[in-house]
Chains A and B, each alone.
Chain A
């Protein structure tokens, strides 16, 4: 129930407040004597040339799509972790393990296929 998440929301709120407080505090309390060299992106490195915005290769997109597939797989495995003890209590832990193993094998076939076909390679 919602009350159980009370600490979570409090922690979230605290984290946000603290993050801003530190940033602001550092700016307020610390001395600030800017000069031209200090304000360069890389104070003692190469001068940046050109724009950071270049076109990405479409291959990243393929990787991202494969990532989504395995991300969704994780979503299906998460309830298993949550209900694992109940399965053990009912004595069907092995059977459920079998169901999950088949599911993972099916997706592992996809991974094998990706690797063999070079879906994860950048050529």
Chain B
């Protein structure tokens, strides 16, 4: 390659990826600050401001034409900006929710915010990757930070156990992903997604084996059946607001990357069958097992598995319409899940990150904490997919394209399993409002403190959920990412 020109576009690249660069730099600043001034009060606010800046920057660029930066390794603008905005947004809400929560469990430590920023860095690199190298680097950076955040409360045996499980299984998943990347590179001789299809030549078998292994890695991260086993344990043991972050931002990044892989590298229809079967299994198993859960966090974990299934339905459609529906669903899912985990975090009283807390222990809480309980009503109806909330539009946006692509059976299963899910979502509300408080647990004696900022975040989530349900223009935004110029702008 011509080395003399190798840095000619660096300045322009840094400007278009300013939020990413800033996130990395501010993460470093927080680490240094925490090294010299332990648990400085400014730490969470530095993180929040960085994420807020990134969020605003990326929102303004959603309308911009998509392009690439850093030798086409990363995508910027358009869909990439949308995905980055999702990651920054959920990071920002999480930082605000996590600060009082971590203080209350006695683990308010500065590194958490640095790790959230580093995890966001990894997610952005993963979610906007245009090459197998950036996919792997982003995937690993994100994963390592999440393993550490899971085991944050190391004095709690459950948290340590879940972190170890997450780490061991995640390391295996990374191994699969890396092997898949090696085979794909071996078959095509290129790392760039958009060059793969034309470069495969007569190594189809090797290429497909590679793609299969790559899919295993991705499906593990989005907790799709049969790679979902870690999800309930990890969600149960990890600090609750951070679970909200893990379940939304990391899924957004992994799904966005998967969409790019499917759209750019595998435009043929041969993968539809595989994705459709996995979507079916994920929806059925996630929803059915969720019915039997008594622990709130485990129930939400299985619910998040089921939602990964719904998003996979959009991917299985294999059309730009399906991909844009899946992207829209990710936004709705982020809003609902951050809100739901935020409420659960505020209603926690057992001192072990809610890992021992059953749903029945919160009976009658609706009269003690009406704001939180009524917010939960919205999140539960949204997750179950009732109109006119965002969850309903999201489901229409992923099931509709599946029908257009001839996967009517899959959409039917999706609707049926959504109906099943209504049972366990609405049971939360029944317990909250229609049951006497349980004398054995006696939540009467526990004072739940609700900081103003946390309440504001939860109310914001409710408002966004309603807005997404009644203003359908958001769907046009995600659809515009695939209107043909995405491939045209490639070099």
Q: Measuring CB to CB, which residues of chain A are less than 8 angstroms from any residue of chain B? A: 86-87, 89-92, 95, 105-106, 109-110, 112-113, 116-117
Which one, B29-37, B193-201, B384-392, is touching chain A? B29-37
Are the CB atoms of A92 and B31 closer together than 8 Å? no
Measured between beta carbons, the chain B residues less than 8 angstroms from A89 are 3
A contact residues around B36 at 8 Å (CB): 116
| B6 close to chain A: CB less than 8 A | yes
Chain A residue with the shortest CB-CB distance to B24:
A106
With both chains docked as a complex, state the minimum distance between the C-beta of A100 and any C-beta of chain B, in angstroms.
13
Whether B32 contacts A92 by the Cβ 8 Å rule is no
Contact A90 B3 (CB under 8 A): yes
Establish whether residues B28 and A109, one from each chain, have CB atoms under 8 Å apart when the complex forms.
yes
Q: Is the interface of A mostly helix, strand, loop or mixed?
A: helix
Q: Which of B2, B10, B35 contacts A117 (CB 8 A)?
A: B35
Contact present for A92 and B35 (CB under 8 Å) = no
Q: Are A116 and B4 in contact, with the CB atoms below 8 A?
A: no
Q: List 28 A-B contacts (CB under 8 A).
A: A86-B3, A87-B3, A89-B3, A90-B2, A90-B3, A90-B4, A90-B6, A91-B4, A92-B3, A92-B4, A92-B6, A92-B7, A95-B6, A95-B7, A106-B28, A109-B28, A109-B31, A109-B32, A110-B31, A112-B32, A112-B35, A113-B31, A113-B32, A113-B34, A113-B35, A116-B35, A116-B36, A117-B35
Q: Which 4 A-B pairs have the closest CB atoms?
A: A90-B3, A116-B35, A95-B7, A90-B4
Alpha-carbon distance A86/B1, docked complex (angstroms)? 11
**B-side interface residues toward A, CB under 8 Å?**
2-4, 6-7, 10, 28, 31-32, 34-36
Q: Is the interface of B mostly helix, strand, loop or mixed?
A: helix
Residues of B within 8 A of A116 (CB): 35-36
> For the complex, what is the distance from the CA of A58 to the CA of B3, rounded to whole Å?
47
- Closest chain B residue to A89 by CB distance? B3
CB-based nearest B residue for A90:
B3
Question: Which residues on A sit within 8 Å (CB–CB) of B35?
Answer: 112-113, 116-117
> How far, in Å, is B127 (CB) from chain A's closest CB?
21
B30 to chain A, nearest CB (A): 10
Chain B nearest CB, measured from A39 CB (Å) = 48
CB distance from A83 to the nearest CB of B (A): 9
In the bound assembly, the distance between CA atoms of A89 and B35 in angstroms comes to 41
A80 to B328, CA, bound (A): 44
Interchain nearest-CB distance for A97 vs B (Å): 11
Q: Which residues of B contact A92 (CB under 8 A)?
A: 3-4, 6-7
> Which residues of A sit under 8 angstroms from B2, Cβ to Cβ?
90
- Given A87-B3, A113-B31, 16 further pairs, Cβ under 8 A: A86-B3, A89-B3, A90-B2, A90-B4, A90-B6, A92-B3, A92-B6, A92-B7, A95-B7, A105-B28, A106-B28, A109-B31, A112-B35, A113-B34, A113-B35, A117-B35
Cα(A113)–Cα(B35), bound, Å: 5
CA of A86 to CA of B2, assembled, Å: 11
- Nearest-neighbour CB distance to chain A for B216, whole angstroms, equals 25
CA of A117 to CA of B35 in the docked complex: distance in angstroms?
Answer: 7
Chain A: minimal CB distance from B314 (Å)? 37
